[in-house]
Amino acid sequence: MIASRMALLQHVCSVPLPRFVRRRPLSSIAATAVAAPSPRVSVTTPSNSRSPNIDPHALLGMTEQDLQQLAVEFGQQSYRGKQLHHLLYKRKVKDIEDFSQLPQAFRNGLREAGWKVGRSPIYRTVTAADGTVKLLIKLEDNRLIETVGIPVEDENGSMRLTACVSSQVGCPLRCSFCATGKGGFSRNLKRHEIVEQVLAIEEIFKHRVTNVVFMGMGEPMLNLKSVLEAHRCLNKDVQIGQRMITISTVGVPNTIKKLASHKLQSTLAVSLHAPNQKLRETIVPSAKSYPLDALMKDCRDYFQETSRRVSFEYALLAGVNDKVEHATELAELLHEWGRGYHVNLIPFNPIEGSEFRRPYKKAMLAFAGALESRKITVSIRQTRGLDASAACGQLRNEFQKDPLITESDSSESQPDLAVAC
């Protein structure tokens, strides 16, 4: 799912801890680098230096070590933190009051201090004919985000369940073919708001999520801090293998190098969509500030740094970038900048008011054939969730396009999502 993807708008409130805890209030939780050992909770006086990507009162996203330290700060034994970890990530309990294994005084103290699990209600659900499910999740500030669950059953009958998660509310990059960007941009998501999407998909399907792709609403690289924190949590706490996680980007200057420094085993998927700079600028406006040669150099350096192959996403737009000549030029571009690249072709998924069209199957096969004949590994993505507006590039909520926020407590009056999409 391609979504185009900067600014940050959020508030963090400070609430004093109960009297039986140390007088120093617990303010920020140190940001956790994916490749580094988990840091301990920092206990400091309130300040404006908090990481804006972490809600200091959301338990979801915290490591077991964080939770143990939190328990100690509330006058509990450290093993209560291990219990908290189990409740959050194994039993997936959604409310502090349901932490029945913990002493009532501890639960009361957490609530009085403003702590919460960090799970949001599912606002609407729509299911496509192929089993793909799109969820609208209503955040604490009433904004809505979308996440998609994609079930695929293999020949042995086992199911691979992919969660396509959002990293921002809307998207600021406004790629011309993508519905998400047309809906505007509101703010970055915090780490727990990313992690909770995966847990919501598991709740709906009653099945463990096996794969996560950061291809929902927003540009992950414009919210890289939260994305890396969520990635660590999904890998270490929810226990989804790094190789089962894909981070997608349309390209943001200086961020691919930052991502490479973490040496993740996850896949980097770069939304290319054109074989030359001039054409790419007409499809991806942000390409003007990040020339194609600079992007390709960063991708080459990423491979050299991580030994992980970069996957290129290419949305096929009829009559725009889907000719055999484009495929030939794309192959030449990839050969110029390295070897072993993979191209994932994505037939355009129609969106309201778009001038683009989906190419005919014959054109798609000819494009793929031209790449294969030039020794480029290629695949054509199977379209999933099209009838639920949950397919690639369609992540846009039709009844709240602008300003990407619901009217407070007005969900009863909203139209049914299945009809609205």
Identify the CA nearest to 246 among candidates 167, 139, 327.
167
The answer to whether 109 and 102 are in contact (CB under 8 A) is no
Please spell the DSSP secondary structure of 56-102, one letter per residue.
TTB-TT--HHHHHHHHHHTT--THHHHHHHHHHHTS----GGG-TTS
CA dihedral 30, 226, 400, 419 (to 10 degrees): -120
Q: How many Å from the N-terminal Cα to the C-terminal Cα in the chain? A: 17
The span from the CA of 141 to the CA of 137, in Å, is 11
Tokens of 14: 């400070």
- 380 C-beta neighbours (distance < 10 Å), count: 16
CA angle (360 as vertex; 280, 417 as ends), nearest 5: 80
Tokens of 353: 């008011």
Q: Burial of 281 by CB count in 10 Å (0-12 exposed, 13-18 middle, 19+ buried)?
A: middle
DSSP 158: -
Which residues are designated catalytic? 146, 392
Taking only Cα atoms into account, the Rg of the chain, rounded to an integer number of angstroms, comes to 22
The span from the CA of 256 to the CA of 271, in Å, is 13
Tokens of 321: 């970038």
The amino acid sitting at 156 is N
Identify the CA nearest to 317 among candidates 286, 353, 352, 360.
360
The answer to whether 160 and 210 are in contact (CB under 8 A) is yes
Pairing of the two strands 211-214 and 342-347: unpaired
- Which residues partner with 248 through β-bridges? 269
Q: Which residue has the tokens 């079930």?
A: 151
The answer to whether 119 and 24 are in contact (CB under 8 A) is no
Whether cis (ω within 30° of 0) applies to the bond prior to 403 is: yes
